[in-house]
Structure 1
Amino acid sequence: MTRRKIALAGIGKIATDQHIPTLASSPDWELAAAVSRHGRVEGVPNFTDMDEMLAAHPEVGTVSLCMPPVPRFAYAEAALKAGRNVMLEKPPGATLSEVHALENLAREAGVVLYATWHSREAAFVAPAAAWLKGRRLKRFTVTWKEDVRKWHPGQDWVFEPGGMGVFDPGINALSIVTAILPDPIHVTRATLEMPENRQTPIAATLAFHHPQGAEVTATMDWDHSGDDVWRIEAVTDGGTMTLDRGGAEMRIDGSVQSAGDGLHGEYPRLYAQMARLVEDGRSDVDLSPARHVWDAMTLGRRKIVAPFHW
């Protein structure tokens, strides 16, 4: 099978750690070009300007965007207007409105737009959704704690407007929540801990309305020391299910199932899905995780906390 040519834009940590290795072993995609102001990919043509790359490589039918959300819209807009399919790293944009605008552009151009949520591709997300279906939820607790210094070392953009702060990892949890809960929920209360020298929260607590009256809460912390905690617990009338390690492990009433590859299969599954979408000529733009973030930022009570320094 002939592999489709794809370009990668935004050569930073996530591209280096996940996208480039995934594309190197993909049966569906051939990395044909890269666009970045600072990074490079060995073995392919490298550009610092998206328009220049698009003009130089008409054979590249798809562009995968990995830069931070604030500058991403302009790159996506250029690619869509040039008739290329676009794959968006999470979160899909700095605002909901700009993603809706991209969705309209893709429709007008007759190309595919894919807003990816890599945590939904963890091994036990789909089994968790199947287990919850038909059970009455009593309590649902999200605990998402990690160290920003480990995952975004020195990247000040995460604390600037549009960077989302703790919701940069927290939206991963919300992407799983919106994939596995049978009933829709919405944010009712939030507390956002704002370092006095930063523009976005470093920690957050959220409460949600559940249509059947279940207690649904989330606690997120980006200044956590020790091992990462990526856990979702659901207490139901038919037992307790816990997703741990970001969905790489599932426990049901003490019985443990664990994925041998941890989270390493997430990005290969994303790119396989992108190949299917392109084959079908179908876009996939689900903004439900982002809506929870935007609602929390709107409703959230700001609590000023100590300055954050790298």
Structure 2
Amino acid sequence: MTELRIAIVGFGKIARDQHVGAIAAVPGAALAAIASRNASLPGLPHFATIEELLEKGPPIDAVSLCTPPQVRRAQAAAALAAGKHVMLEKPPGIGVAELDPLVAMAAEAKRTLFATWHSRHAPAVEPARQWLAERRIKSVHVSWKEDVRVWHPGQGWIWEPGGLGVFDPGINALSILTKILPKPVFVTAAELAFPANCQAPIAANLTLTDIDGLAVTAEFDFRQTGPQSWDILVDTDQGRMTLSSGGARLEVDGKVLAEAPDEEYRGLYRRFVELAATGASDVDLTPLRLVADAFLLGRRTVVEPFVD
């Protein structure tokens, strides 16, 4: 098998913690270079920018963009123009419409554009989808609450326009929700809490439904201390399903049906290798559309300033 030679662009916490190990563990993938202004990896060619990487770097087939979403569109366009396959960390961009030209570029160049949703690859997500497919769903509640100081320390970009604030983790929940429910959902109301010194929300409450009127609520909060919660609760005609730990554990009425170690990013890279073999793309923007609608419909309140 010919290896897919991948360069990581943007070498922050998520790239170091997840992407490097996942690439090393996936057959057919190989890490060939790093492009980052602030960090490098011993033993690998390093470049300050994607432009320098594409001009002066070693032979590569693909780039994995782990930079803040505000700059990914231009980076993806540069990579596609250079004939490279492109993986986009989530969220894939700062808006929905900016992805359309990239999809067209990828198709014209016969290169892969992969908008990733890592939480969909959590081990209990597919079992949850299968279990719900055979039940009548009565209601759904999402509780996605974490401490931003633990998970995003010093990452000021997350509070800027396009950084999404609490929707950066919240979109993970929406990516799972739109995977496991049998019918599409849409936002009907939202309440967004903005720190007085930030351009993105620190907390959000959403009301959603589907064409049949299913009751769906979601609570996102970046101010959680103590135990963190990444849970989706679904009441059905055959019991309560709980998908917890970000999709790693599935229970029905307290009985564990599925649980396994985290291999989300390995799943992403297996999919990337598979797509790149034929130049196919995978760009599902449904979770991003729901976030965009939450901003469109949201009632905004101002809360105390955020200090990292």
| 1:281 aligned to which of 272, 275, 279 | 279
Q: After TM superposition, give the deviation of residue 59 of structure 1 in Å.
A: 2.5
Q: After TM superposition, give the deviation of residue 25 of structure 1 in Å.
A: 2.7
Match of 2:100 in 1: 100
Q: Deviations over 1:102-121 (max 9, x none)?
A: 11111111100000000000
Structure 1 runs of 4+ aligned residues shifted over 3 Å read none
Measured in 1, the distance between the counterparts of 2:73 and 2:34 equals 17
Match of 1:169 in 2: 169
Measured in 2, the distance between the counterparts of 1:143 and 1:41 equals 36
Measured in 1, the distance between the counterparts of 2:39 and 2:72 equals 16
Aligned-partner residue type, residue 157 of structure 2: W
Match of 1:303 in 2: 301
Check whether the contact 2:140–2:217 (CA below 8 A) recurs between aligned residues: yes
Query: Is 1:38 aligned to 2:33, yes or no?
Result: no
Match of 1:270 in 2: 268
Query: Is 1:52 aligned to 2:52, yes or no?
Result: yes
Measured in 2, the distance between the counterparts of 1:214 and 1:260 equals 30
Q: Deviations over 1:91-138 (max 9, x none)?
A: 000111111121111111110000000000000100111111132211
Match of 1:209 in 2: 209
Measured in 2, the distance between the counterparts of 1:96 and 1:213 equals 26
Q: TM-score, normalised by structure 1?
A: 0.97
Measured in 2, the distance between the counterparts of 1:147 and 1:159 equals 14
User: Helix, strand or coil: the match of 1:142?
Assistant: strand
Q: Describe how 1:149-164 pairs up with structure 2 within 5 A.
A: 149-164=149-164
RMSD: 1.1
Check whether the contact 2:47–2:57 (CA below 8 A) recurs between aligned residues: no
Q: Deviations over 1:229-268 (max 9, x none)?
A: 000011111221110001110111221145341x2x0001
User: Helix, strand or coil: the match of 2:277?
Assistant: helix
Match of 2:145 in 1: 145
- Residue correspondences, number: 308
Match of 1:135 in 2: 135
Measured in 2, the distance between the counterparts of 1:149 and 1:75 equals 28
Q: After TM superposition, give the deviation of residue 8 of structure 1 in Å.
A: 0.6
Q: Describe how 1:228-267 pairs up with structure 2 within 5 A.
A: 228-261=228-261, 263=262, 265-267=263-265
Match of 1:24 in 2: 24
Aligned-partner residue type, residue 284 of structure 2: D
User: Helix, strand or coil: the match of 2:280?
Assistant: coil
Q: TM-score, normalised by structure 2?
A: 0.97
Match of 2:12 in 1: 12
How high is the sequence identity, in percent, across the aligned residues? 51
Structure 2 residue runs of 5 or longer lacking an equivalent are none
Structure 1 residue runs of 5 or longer lacking an equivalent are none
Measured in 2, the distance between the counterparts of 1:305 and 1:286 equals 33
Q: After TM superposition, give the deviation of residue 58 of structure 1 in Å.
A: 6.3
Check whether the contact 2:249–2:260 (CA below 8 A) recurs between aligned residues: no
Q: Describe how 1:111-130 pairs up with structure 2 within 5 A.
A: 111-130=111-130
Check whether the contact 2:203–2:220 (CA below 8 A) recurs between aligned residues: yes
Check whether the contact 2:143–2:218 (CA below 8 A) recurs between aligned residues: yes
Aligned-partner residue type, residue 93 of structure 1: G
Measured in 2, the distance between the counterparts of 1:98 and 1:171 equals 18
User: Helix, strand or coil: the match of 1:275?
Assistant: helix
Aligned-partner residue type, residue 89 of structure 1: E
Aligned-partner residue type, residue 193 of structure 1: A
Measured in 2, the distance between the counterparts of 1:41 and 1:95 equals 31
User: Helix, strand or coil: the match of 1:247?
Assistant: coil
Measured in 2, the distance between the counterparts of 1:2 and 1:107 equals 22
Measured in 2, the distance between the counterparts of 1:190 and 1:269 equals 32
